[in-house]
A and B are shown apart, each in its own frame.
Chain A
Amino acid sequence: MSAAARAQIFDSIRRGLVRAVLPDAAGSRPTPEGRSSPPSASADALEAFTRALTALTGRVHRAAAVDMVPDLVAAIAHEHGARGFLAWDESHLGVPGLFAALASRGLERVDYDLPFDAASREAHALALAGVGVGLTGADAAIADAGAIVLAHGPGRGRLASLLPPAHIAVLSARQIWPTMPDLLAARPGLLDAGSNLVAIAGPSRTADIEMTLTHGVHGPKYLHVIVVP
């Protein structure tokens, strides 16, 4: 059935294309222009990013040096009453010795690998649902949208930025791009780095009821970005 259905659809499309009225379709394929070189670590980009994310109720923390990150993370985690955290593998966070430093501050990483078997998957996920904070890196940020971009993959799970009520991301100041089109034109390979690329612009929100903005409906209610030099 599938091959026949496929053939039926493609036949119908090809017949349609012969007669289709498609304004502005003629000519060569448009090539979206983005900045082809990596962005500079300009103070402007960081300012714009900070302004945009802050307006979305996200919080930006500037770490003067990488070795300040453990204290920042611990302070934020304690603010949210968290004892455990979900996280990317340490090698993807850019802060050597981070997990040991956090452990000495009373914060334990909760490791996981969701199984395929339905019953044990549910039990496993349920156990993760109570973890108070998620800790990830960030592959890029988008200044005009106040968004961080996370390429998930091996050692870089999705749930750390999704399940806990608070999400902390560590971002390098050199990875702030002006716009989404700039980033995707320059680094299309990000899409295929793992099974999931996500741009996160502030905490989870909804305005479905009476257009009143409310945070944390499904994803984290709090988003913290620690910017390292």
Chain B
Amino acid sequence: MTEASARFHRSVAEALADPHLRQALDRTTGRLAGGLAKAFATIPDAGALRDTARRIRAHTIAHLDQHLDQFERAATARGCHVHWAPTAADATRLVVDIARARGVSLAVKSKSMVTEEIELNAALGAAGVRVVESDLGEFVVQLADDRPSHIIAPIVHMSRDDVARLFEDKLGARPDEVADIPAITAFARRTLRQEFLQAGMGISGVNLAVADTGSLCLVTNEGNGRLTTTLPRVHVAVMGLERIVPTAADLGVVLQLLARSATGQALSVYTNIITGPRRPATSDGPGEPDGPDELHIVVVDNGRSRLLGGELAEILYCVRCGACLNICPVYHHIGGHAYGGVYPGPVGSVVSPGLMGLDEWSELPHASSLCGACRDVCPVRIDLPRLLLNLRAQTVAARMGPAWLRIAMPLYAAIATRPVLYRWLGSLAARLSRMMGHDGWLDRLPGPLSAWTTERDFPVPAPRSFVQEHHAHAPRAGGCE
């Protein structure tokens, strides 16, 4: 087993043994999944809308170069600076350079997966820029020096007491200032409001960009996304190069599904659509009284275009709602951290190996029972099980995974395509295991299969197979009732 595989199995075991995490996941994932079902029940043509959204995303990705080109021209025409970053390092260097050139020492940030992916905070920190996460959950994660456990709910793994203690330790809060959740929230508002007012730069991700107007759409519930993109004089938006839709009408369709899928809301509290920096005064009239004077858009590739050139390209349709996490029974039991990457859950099990290669991420595609709940819930109907199966085939082709299986599976296939041998070996195995079983059950299986019997028994095979009995005209059992 490789070091990366061992690490994954260790973190899974730790997650499974954590009763607190269990409780938090029970509380959140079930509620989010339930909210989704209710929210979809309120749109009469949800199925058709999902089909349309899927076709919009599919068509956009299939013409990605044209849409990006159009987006760049439209955004530039409205005063944006568009930057292109082939790698994570390029992206962070671009942002650091912008910060340096403007003398920025404090930046506020609105939650964004892609900035986690490129590890922007660390790069800015090293360049002497303090970065404050402004989403409440991300702010807590940052204070705790932790990682977000969920795309939508970053601190599902923490209790209110955990947060209160953290605010006391790190921010000097008095116990009465963090006595309950509203107090904790108000304390965070006061603390973060100061940071917003002082920050020289606001950093955000981009949920969706609109090609024909060069617009950026950011959805948040707290309003931190709006403050981040309004108060500081420089706004830097970092976007994965696939987060694009052609027009405002296309954006409308995706928005009708996005918040419903993420949190069960019809729309997030703030659907914030930004088209260029603040518009200056002209001879016709005054300019806008607020908003950033500079807007930089950093378009990040970091493996996406390579992903596009293969069988996993469908994952680029993803709109990052997190619905596949909330519905996933595996996620429900291990939470986000165990997945190891920035993107957890079924989508992460495709995106992490897809963007960063299978060497470090070969276990993730196998961490699924292939139940298909993720495919059913996806607002753009991404066939996640198909993508996981494709990655599994890649791990086998690369001779990754357990050695015993690489021997056992071809052997099994060889036997299963030789019916006489198959029947004979089946009978032999049945006889052997009947000698080891009690009352029709085995409580211990040999070798790698012993993992089955750690927590469940295994039935002893029947003395004669059904096919053999049937062809021998054995007495037919009429059922058991």
Contacts and interface: CB of A to CB of B under 8 A. Distances in A.
B291 A9 contact: no
B58 A158 contact: no
Interface stretch (A60-68, A72-80, A98-106, A211-219): A211-219
Given A147-B267, A180-B256, A206 B185 contact: yes
A31 interface: yes
Given A9-B301, A209-B184, A218-B227, A188 B248 contact: yes
A144 B269 contact: no
Contacts of A218: 134, 189, 192-193, 222-224, 226-227
Given A116-B233, A200-B269, A208-B137, A13 B274 contact: no
A196 B188 contact: no
Contact of A157 (B78, B86, B255, B289): B289
Interface string A1-37: 0100110111011111111111111110111101000
Given A121-B233, A153-B279, A21 B267 contact: no
Interface stretch (A39-47, A122-130, A168-176): A122-130
B286 A191 contact: no
A191 B215 contact: yes
Given A5-B85, A159-B290, A199-B271, A214 B62 contact: no
Interface string B211-244: 0010100000111101101110100000001000
A113 B289 contact: yes
A16 B233 CA distance: 38
A24 B140 contact: no
Interface in B274-295: 274-279, 281, 285-291, 293
B115 to A, nearest CB: 18
Interface string A132-147: 0000000000101111
B174 interface: no
A15 B65 CA distance: 10
Contacts of A183: 252
B154 A32 contact: no
Contacts of B189: 216-218
Contact of B246 (A13, A29, A112, A129): A29
Interface stretch (B48-56, B332-340, B357-365, B431-439): B48-56
Contact of B213 (A14, A26, A152, A192): A192
B198 interface: yes
A196 B231 CA distance: 13
Contacts of B222: 204-206, 217-219
B268 to A, nearest CB: 7
Contact of A118 (B200, B221, B241): B200
A145 B270 CA distance: 11
B197 interface: yes
Given A20-B62, A20-B309, A159-B290, A201 B267 contact: yes
A182 interface: yes
B380 to A, nearest CB: 9
Given A154-B279, A198-B226, A25 B159 contact: no
Contacts of A125: 197, 231
A129 B193 contact: yes
A69 interface: no
A217 B290 contact: no
Nearest to A208: B137
A212 B54 CA distance: 33
B55 to A, nearest CB: 4
A190 interface: yes
B168 to A, nearest CB: 15
Nearest to A196: B274
A162 B52 CA distance: 33
Nearest to B224: A218
B181 A212 contact: yes
A116 B290 CA distance: 10
Contact of B28 (A22, A126, A200, A211): A211
A160 to B, nearest CB: 9
Contacts of A26: 62
Contacts of A219: 222-223, 226-227, 269-270
B373 interface: no
A196 B216 CA distance: 9
A20 B276 contact: no
Contacts of B58: 22-25
A154 B248 contact: no
Residue of A121, A185, A219 with most partner-chain B CB within 10 A:
A219
Contacts of A220: 223
B55 A154 contact: no
A144 B222 CA distance: 20
A191 B221 contact: no
11 contacts: A9-B299, A30-B55, A118-B233, A129-B197, A158-B291, A179-B43, A191-B273, A194-B279, A194-B288, A195-B276, A195-B277
Given A32-B252, A114-B291, A210-B27, 12 more contacts: A12-B301, A19-B309, A21-B310, A25-B58, A191-B275, A192-B215, A204-B269, A206-B136, A208-B135, A218-B189, A218-B192, A219-B223
The 7 closest A-B pairs by CB, nearest first: A219-B223, A16-B309, A184-B252, A16-B308, A208-B137, A188-B248, A181-B252
